[in-house]
Amino acid sequence: MIICSIIGVWGNITANRMASKVAKDSSEKIRHDLFEKISYLSSKQVDRVTIPSLESRLTTDTYNVHRMIGMIQRMGVRAPILLLGGIIITFIMEPYLTLVLVATLPFITAIVYRKATKGIPLYTKVQTATDDMIRVVRENVAGIRVIKALSKVDYEKNRYDRINRKLVDKEKQAGIAMAVTNPLMNLFLNLGLTGVILAGAYRVNMGLSETGKIIAFMTYFTLISNAMMSISRIFVEISKGIASADRIGEILNIPADLIVLDEKEFKREEGSIIFDHVSFSYNGVKNNLENINFRIDKGQTLGILGATGCGKTTILQLLLRFYDVKEGSIRINGKDIRSMNNKELRKLFGIVMQNDFLYADSIKENIRFGRDLSDEQINQAIKVAQAEEFISNLEKGTDHILTSRGTNISGGQKQRILLSRAFAANPEILILDDSSSALDYKTDANLRKAIKECFKDTTTIIVAQRISSIMHADRILVLEEGKIIGDGTHDELIKNCELYKMIESTQMGGAFVD
């Protein structure tokens, strides 16, 4: 028995380590595959699922699956063996009493099955409520300065409390529903035990059995009872795990969007960008862009101006193929972008988006951004972006460590680092989406001059709110409610476009357009 005990301890330790390793490796692969899938989702798909929900699936749901895999291996193997083995031994020992015990198993099985099937949708609701909580947390973290500035901390605390209570209610509802399992199982097991004692007493009294057998039977009954309780706990974890696995599966099974289409025959037009009668809608009902037509050739600069929500950034998102056009086509060098591999397409661009980001690393690594760029290229990009002066004044220069989202530098400094990132790889097409809004007029003017000198052969698209940033462009588009209402040079638009003329007049003296 001592030898068997030692072997049992060694076997338990080995089995638990193997189970932990399998659970760890499995969840690691699941997280990797899920993150990879999320990275390749189209903007339309991300909009539908929402970022908070993706974060929840990548964290909480993968953790629930990890626990399920680990428990199935540790208890899901041991408990059925003990249950089945106990029943077989008791059947050999006392078949009559075993039948009394087995009579309770259908009731226990029905309870476990019913609660497991009911638990999956309940835990799915818990995870959906977790998505909402993560959304509120993300909003508060992103807007914490504004919240404090407007003295809305108490308001946000109450808003978070409402979401948190909703999550607690869902967890409580699931917990109460699943908590019924153990007491009901205990009830039927105890009824079975009572039946075994009564039947055993009658059999001993009639001389059909022995007291020792009944006592041994009771020992095995305890073993069977513990195995059944373990199985009930397994089904609670399985309910959580399946609910989370279904949510993970929803993402992994999303069909590929933005498929590369067969190349259509167009006239080869080197260095040109053409929007050919392009219309687009985010919701599939009302067009956000309608009949957009323009052409820009290599080395030219296109300026896009208009009120907030008029479709300026949407044009850029279509050009980068974050979304596909509803009607018409977009061509680069005479090739429809829908027939280009996304990696091939986006390699053409250097981009500064309206809500771009910096991560927690050095300035140099934020500019390099995982690309094979030399220090010389990085320093040249910093110079063009007018960031050389403020970076040289930092104690560690380009090795200065930024916080996440660049909160330890000013808005203007952040924009210049982002511009440096866009310039560093000497792109064929440069996109600047409201990228100089935090710069003073002098720095903005120096930036435009540097771009003109250093990127003569680069096609540049500038989206801006102030005319001074685009007035020297070769062509300017004025948008209103998704339509082009003005198209031409600065001088032409002053004469022919009332909206442009009004904006130009409003901004005299450096004012900004609302």
**Domain ranges in the chain?**
2-105+180-252, 263-348+465-507
The SS3 of residue 489 is coil
pLDDT at 511: 43
pLDDT at 510: 43
**Which of 447, 479, 451, 445 lies closest to 465, judged by CA?**
479
Q: Is 308 left (phi over 0), alpha (psi -120 to 50) or beta?
A: beta
Residue 135, burial from CB neighbour count under 10 angstroms (0-12, 13-18, 19+): middle
Q: Which two tokens stand for residue 358?
A: 């910096």
Q: Which two tokens stand for residue 153?
A: 């901390």
249-252 — which CB contacts under 8 Å span 24+ positions? 251/34, 251/37, 251/38, 251/41, 251/49, 251/54, 251/57, 252/33, 252/34, 252/37
**Which of 299, 245, 29 lies closest to 127, judged by CA?**
245
Distance CA 176, CA 178 (A): 6
pLDDT at 3: 94
pLDDT at 65: 94
Residues of the chain with pLDDT under 70: 263-271, 354-355, 508-514
Distance CA 487, CA 507 (A): 20
**Measured CA distances, 239 to 50, 183, 388 (Å):** 24, 18, 57
For the chain, give me the number of helices (H) and strands (E)?
A: 19, 10
Fold that domain 263-348+465-507 belongs to in CATH? Rossmann fold (3.40.50)
Distance CA 249, CA 242 (A): 10
CB of 321 closer than 8 Å to CB of 258: yes
pLDDT at 166: 92
C-alpha dihedral sign at 6, 8, 13, 15? positive
How many CA within 13 A on the CB side of residue 149? 4
303 beta partners: 462, 476
C-alpha dihedral sign at 389, 391, 396, 398? negative
Distance CA 109, CA 104 (A): 9
Distance CA 129, CA 33 (A): 24
Distance CA 370, CA 131 (A): 31
Centre a 10 Å sphere on the Cβ of residue 202 and count the other Cβ atoms it contains: 12
pLDDT at 271: 63
H runs (alpha helix) in 253-374: 312-319, 342-346, 363-368
pLDDT at 508: 53
Domain 2-105+180-252 -> CATH class: mainly alpha
Q: What is the pLDDT of residues 144-184, one digit of tens each?
A: 878 888 888 888 899 999 999 999 999 998 888 888 877 88
pLDDT at 293: 92
Backbone torsions φ then ψ of 214, nearest 5 degrees? -65, -45
